[in-house]
Structure formats: C-alpha cells, structure tokens
Structure 1
C-alpha cells in the first residue's frame, strides 16, 4: 500500500477518534492526548497528521458532514419518487444513529467555533449548500423554481434549528418528534391537497422503515461510525 494511502487511512481514523472525543468530553475538554487515547496512538502521532487542535477541529467538521451526506446517499438508493427523495433528506438528517442527544450537544459545541475558524466556516458553508441543493432538486417538482429556492432555504434553517435546540435542551428530542416538526413545515410551505398529503404520509412511512434497516445496519455503522 502506498504511503499516501496509509496516511489517508490514518487521518480518517484520527478524525473518527476526534469526533468521538468531542461527543464524550465536549469541545473544550477534547485534547490531542484524548484523541490519541481513543485512536490508540500517541499525541505525537496525532500531531504528525494534524498540526494543531484547529486542524483537528476542521477534520471533525468534515467527519460530521460526511455522516449526514452518507445517510442521505444511502436512503436515496431506495427512494423512487420526488416525495420519497424529499423525505429521504429529512429522515437522514434526524435518524437515531446520528441524531441523538450526545451528537447534538457535540454539534452545538462545534458550531460555536465556526466564527473563529476560516476552514470550519468553509466546510459549514459547503454543507449548508449541499442541503439546500438537495432540497431544491426535489422541491422543484412541487413549486416554481423561485419559490422552491425560498422553501429550500427555510427548510434548511429549520433543520439547523432543530439540531441546535436538541443540543441545548436538558432532555432528548426524539427522531419522530423532529421529523414531525419538519412535516408540519412542509405541509405549510408546499401545495397540500388530499392526494399530496397522502403521498407525503406514505413517503415518510416508507423511508422511515427503510432507514431503520439501512441506517441502523451493522454494515452502515461500520462504514460511517465508530461511536
């Protein structure tokens, strides 16, 4: 195996370890030593791949966004209609494997650092654009393009808001509650006659069931998670 490939694998392993450290200890108490302990390596090895905590923080941002995008891609495989693809985006952002109290609290810690870290800003902007683009692609099936653009932006803000609230509240926000709040927003922003309402309901039910199997599987967790 080439040295560059080994280095890339090690960086992924350390990014996972850093992500787990933030979940366990919070951002302020996460140190290079603790990341090394989780990864089973010395602080020197961590420093060899990431020059400082700021660089490691950027890797954690990329890691968290990879988890979300990987979940969406996985559910897209089973979505056959615009309704189902729209709900794949929603369910992927709130499935239990990723959307749980510990991860939400870690995410709140991370985004507090965005204004102070240019690279993290860049990663977060790219993530926001990805979510907006995914939503926009499906919403154009329901709305004129200009209106779809506005709704995509509002739904993206709504997703972020639920995550922030879930990270701040003293009690967990359950997946079904978060998805139901998104459904309420969708019902208010999209054309919603009786037929459309039924299709949305059926799409949510199907994608939720698929997520239980696909995102909850051992194979998916081994590919994307180590927490």
Structure 2
C-alpha cells in the first residue's frame, strides 16, 4: 500500500523527470518507461498517476507555467516604477532555472507539440497572453497604447527568439547577455517617450502618455 502523502511527491518527481528526459533528448519522442526510470518509479505507477503520456506532458507544462507565474509575482513585489517592473519581468524570463539548456529544449518541444495538440496549444497561448499583459501593464504607463502594444510584442518576440538561440547549443547565449540585449532593445524603444530629469535618471514624458 502506498504511504499517505507520497502521491504529491511522486507526481512532482514524475513531472520533474519528464522535463529532464525531454530536455535531454530534445523532443517529445520519449516513453513513459523512460520517464518513470528517470523518476525512480515503475511505469505502472506513472500510468496510475497520470493515465497517459499526454496527460503527463500537460501536467509538466502546467508546472512550468505555475513556477514562472510564482517567480514573476515574487519579483514584482518590491518594485515601484513601471520601468523597474519591466526589468523584473525580463529577468524572470531568463532566470537560471527557466533558461537552463534542458528547460529551453523542453519549451521548444512543447511548441512543436502545440501544432498537434489543442490542449498544449491553449496552455502556451495562456503563457503568451500573460507575458503580454504583464508588459502592457507597465508600458501603458510610459507611452501611448498603440506604442505600448508594439513594444510589448517586440519584447516578447525577443524573449522567444533568444530562447531559440539558446537551443542552438553550438553558440548559446547566456542568461545575463540575454537580459542585457532585451533591456537595450527596451531602452531604445522607450527613449522617445521619456524625459531626462537629471543625469542617470529617466521619467515618463506626460505629453507622450496623453498622446499630445
């Protein structure tokens, strides 16, 4: 008989093992047996908890998204200005655990699966909309809505693009360099909407925010 309290631990172990196994192989062409072996449990137990590999894949994506959301909430707790909030969002996107080679490979495998699975596609759309919403919330305080939407799309595209570049392990781009590149793009896009109050500081230009 399974010990009480073991199910959540084994479910998490299987989700973590799925991420590692997919990341190591670079595709979703893995078996429940391989995942179970990585998690240190039997294939029968993996099927008992998740039913099928597809259900386990969905649970793994949900786990990634939940972790990303938790990290984003924590990162935004102690920031005040819209520009600081944007930097926090960028840093979370490239933090070490999310930008590890195996995690990046798993993300890309999930995007491929989204072409075939409506449920996986829906989860990834939720991620994309959440990122865009978080960016827009701060950008709309710094520039007109149309420009905020354009810049948000650009920042999101840079984040996605740098994940793809990271997957090319022959020439990976590190987390710090990725943050710097995205910040440089954001600074360039925001420059017309900010005024220089004093050396080293930037403040929103009220006339641009009102579209005047």
TM-score w.r.t. structure 1 length? 0.77
Could you list the runs of 5+ residues in structure 2 that have no partner in the other structure? 203-212
Name the Cα RMSD after superposition: 2.5
Could you list the runs of 5+ residues in structure 1 that have no partner in the other structure? 201-227
- 1:162, CA displacement in angstroms? 1.1
Paired residues, what number?
Answer: 198
Deviations 1:16-75 (A, max 9, x none): 221122223332453211221222211111111222222222122222222322221221
Give the equivalent residue in structure 2 for 1:71. 71
- 1:108, CA displacement in angstroms? 1.8
Give the equivalent residue in structure 1 for 2:183. 183
Give the equivalent residue in structure 1 for 2:125. 125
Give the equivalent residue in structure 2 for 1:90. 90
User: Pairwise mapping of residues 95-114 of structure 1 onto structure 2 (< 5 A)?
Assistant: 95-114=95-114
Secondary structure in 1 matching 2:74? helix
- 1:193, CA displacement in angstroms? 4.2
- 1:119, CA displacement in angstroms? 0.7
Bigger fraction of residues in helix: 1
User: Pairwise mapping of residues 135-174 of structure 1 onto structure 2 (< 5 A)?
Assistant: 135-174=135-174
- 1:196, CA displacement in angstroms? 9.1
Higher-RCO chain (CA-CA 8 Å, sequence separation at least 6): 1
Give the equivalent residue in structure 1 for 2:208. none
- 1:19, 1:60 within 8 Å by CA — same for their partners in 2? yes
Give the equivalent residue in structure 2 for 1:44. 44
- 1:86, 1:138 within 8 Å by CA — same for their partners in 2? yes
Instruction: Find the aligned partners of 1:57 and 1:83 in 2 and give their Cα distance.
Output: 35
- 1:187, CA displacement in angstroms? 1.8
Q: Which structure has the greater CA radius of gyration?
A: 2
Change (3 A) 1:178 1:28: same
- 1:128, CA displacement in angstroms? 0.5
Instruction: Find the aligned partners of 2:104 and 2:195 in 1 and give their Cα distance.
Output: 35
Instruction: Find the aligned partners of 1:180 and 1:14 in 2 and give their Cα distance.
Output: 35
TM-score w.r.t. structure 2 length? 0.82
Give the equivalent residue in structure 2 for 1:220. none
Secondary structure in 2 matching 1:116? coil
User: Pairwise mapping of residues 57-68 of structure 1 onto structure 2 (< 5 A)?
Assistant: 57-68=57-68
- 1:7, CA displacement in angstroms? 4.9
